[in-house]
Amino acid sequence: MMKEYKIFTINPGSTSTKIALFKNNNCVFSKSVSHNAEKLAELGSITNQLPYRKQTIKNMLLKTGIDLDGTDAVVGRGGGLLPVEGGTYEIDDLLLDHSRKGANGVQHPAQLGPQLANDFALECGAKSFVVNPPDVDELQDLARMTGIKNVYRKVHLHALNLKETAIRHAKLIGKKYDDCNFIVCHIGGGISVSAHRNGRMIDGFDIIGGEGPMAPTRCGSISVTNLLAYHKGRTLGEIKSLCTKDGGFVSHLGTSDAVEVEKRAECGDKEAKMVWNSMIYQIEKCIGSMAAVLHGNIDGILLGGGMVNSKDLVNQITLTCDWIAPVTAYPGEFEMEAMAAGAMRVLTGIEAVKKYTGEPVWDHFDFT
């Protein structure tokens, strides 16, 4: 009889931290722990939030009677790391150092994931991991080049949810992820569209850098000359903000709430309808580009993320793209489940744990 593993998962967000306890792959407790926004702002840097967030989580565990004694693994959302290949990574001093300082140059609450996981693991004598962090880089070489010498493409994607969605769908159709080709989309506060070939995410869009479709807070791909013209009278910081915080729905409609935008569109708001349909149109274009990357050999188009709860969005994408491959919707996200599943694969010996090297998995072409 297989041992029952106890796994605690931690996923920090902007003003909350999701926590969940699993026994093997079964979730037995799940909660979103809220943090005071004013207190977080007062603390300043993301790393300074660690003691406060940790204590808030502890208070919630105490209040709900959740005991972490006997926990086998604690998994944190991986943030701040340099590009790595997909997999489950053991948290060590180097990985912790990079998460603290944000070695990838992106400041995001996910940096606290490894730090919180390490602290809780030390307290309960467990192993600590990160699974498929946002900086997973499995690009094929052809996807790396740009038209400017020594400037190469990078990707920042919802790797954790993208890969888990693909793994689950492969199992559903009686195949292994490593034997499938998928186009996988995460459509939520951010939007990722990616091509997966034989278990590797070989192409996608740098959603932090502004590539891909328009999203609730992100501008999506636009002409460089248009952006340069728009730059006049604005700081570099303001322009960067359009990529991640003030673009998309926020720029056009003053809200990042997709449910509100869809309702406004349904009620006759012409601008909201144009913005909503344009976002879907851009997602469809990106799916088409990933179909070309996979040479049309595709086992399925998979849609995950919060906006996939919209029937209109799913229907539009299905009508436009099901000639490429069957479209399957997985509303919501599997991030907590994905972290537990990654730990389970390592704990049961299905997959080898990986070591974070602190070096980008890819740096440059050596044409000499």
Domain span holding position 265: 159-332
315 is a domain residue: yes
User: Per-residue pLDDT for the chain (368 aa), expressed as one digit of tens each?
Assistant: 678 999 999 999 888 999 999 999 999 999 999 998 889 889 988 999 999 999 999 999 999 999 999 999 999 999 999 999 999 999 999 999 999 999 988 888 999 999 999 999 999 999 999 999 988 999 999 999 999 999 999 888 999 999 999 999 999 999 999 999 999 999 999 999 999 999 999 999 998 888 999 999 999 999 988 888 887 788 888 888 888 889 999 999 999 999 999 999 999 999 999 999 999 999 999 999 999 999 999 999 999 999 999 999 999 999 999 999 999 999 998 999 999 999 999 999 999 999 999 999 998 898 85
356 is a domain residue: no
Does residue 117 sit in the same domain as residue 168? Answer: no
Q: Give the DSSP H or E segment for 18.
A: strand 16-23
Does residue 171 sit in the same domain as residue 92? Answer: no
Q: Which residues contact 354 (CB under 8 A, 6 or more apart)?
A: 84, 85, 87, 88, 89, 90
What is the structure's pLDDT at 221?
93
Does residue 200 sit in the same domain as residue 313? Answer: yes
* 3-state SS assignment for residue 28: strand
Q: Is the dihedral of CA 343, 347, 351, 356 positive or negative?
A: positive
- The one-character DSSP state at 183 is E
- The one-character DSSP state at 289 is H
CATH of the domain at 296: 3.30.420.40
Does residue 101 sit in the same domain as residue 221? Answer: no
* Integer Cα distance of 62 and 51 in angstroms: 16
Q: How far is CA 122 from CA 128, 130, 143, in A?
A: 9, 15, 40
What is the structure's pLDDT at 141?
96
360 is a domain residue: no
1 is a domain residue: no
* 3-state SS assignment for residue 196: strand
Whether the CB-CB separation of 166 and 196 falls below 8 Å is answered with: yes
φ, ψ for residue 167, nearest 5 deg: -60, -45
CA-closest candidate to residue 280, choices 305, 311, 314: 314
* Integer Cα distance of 334 and 343 in angstroms: 14
* Integer Cα distance of 62 and 56 in angstroms: 10
CA-closest candidate to residue 265, choices 246, 283, 252: 252
Does residue 242 sit in the same domain as residue 288? Answer: yes
- Strand order in 300-305's β-sheet? 200-203, 191-197, 181-187, 300-305, 327-331
Does residue 122 sit in the same domain as residue 53? Answer: yes
Does residue 342 sit in the same domain as residue 321? Answer: no
Q: Which two tokens stand for residue 331?
A: 């509303």
Whether the CB-CB separation of 115 and 50 falls below 8 Å is answered with: yes
Strand extents, DSSP E, 88-246? 88-90, 127-131, 181-187, 191-197, 200-203
145 is a domain residue: no
What is the structure's pLDDT at 368?
56
Helical axes 50-64 vs 112-124, angle rounded to 10°:
50
365 is a domain residue: no
Does residue 179 sit in the same domain as residue 83? Answer: no
Length of the chain: 368
Does residue 277 sit in the same domain as residue 318? Answer: yes
Does residue 101 sit in the same domain as residue 173? Answer: no
Bridge partners of residue 128, in order along the sequence: 74
Q: How many domains are there within the chain? A: 2
Q: Which two tokens stand for residue 262?
A: 């869809």
Q: Which two tokens stand for residue 105?
A: 């140059």
Does residue 180 sit in the same domain as residue 299? Answer: yes
What is the structure's pLDDT at 302?
98
367 is a domain residue: no
Does residue 131 sit in the same domain as residue 163? Answer: no
Q: Which residues contact 156 (CB under 8 A, 6 or more apart)?
A: 106, 134, 135, 206, 207, 208, 209
CA-closest candidate to residue 191, choices 285, 262, 312: 285
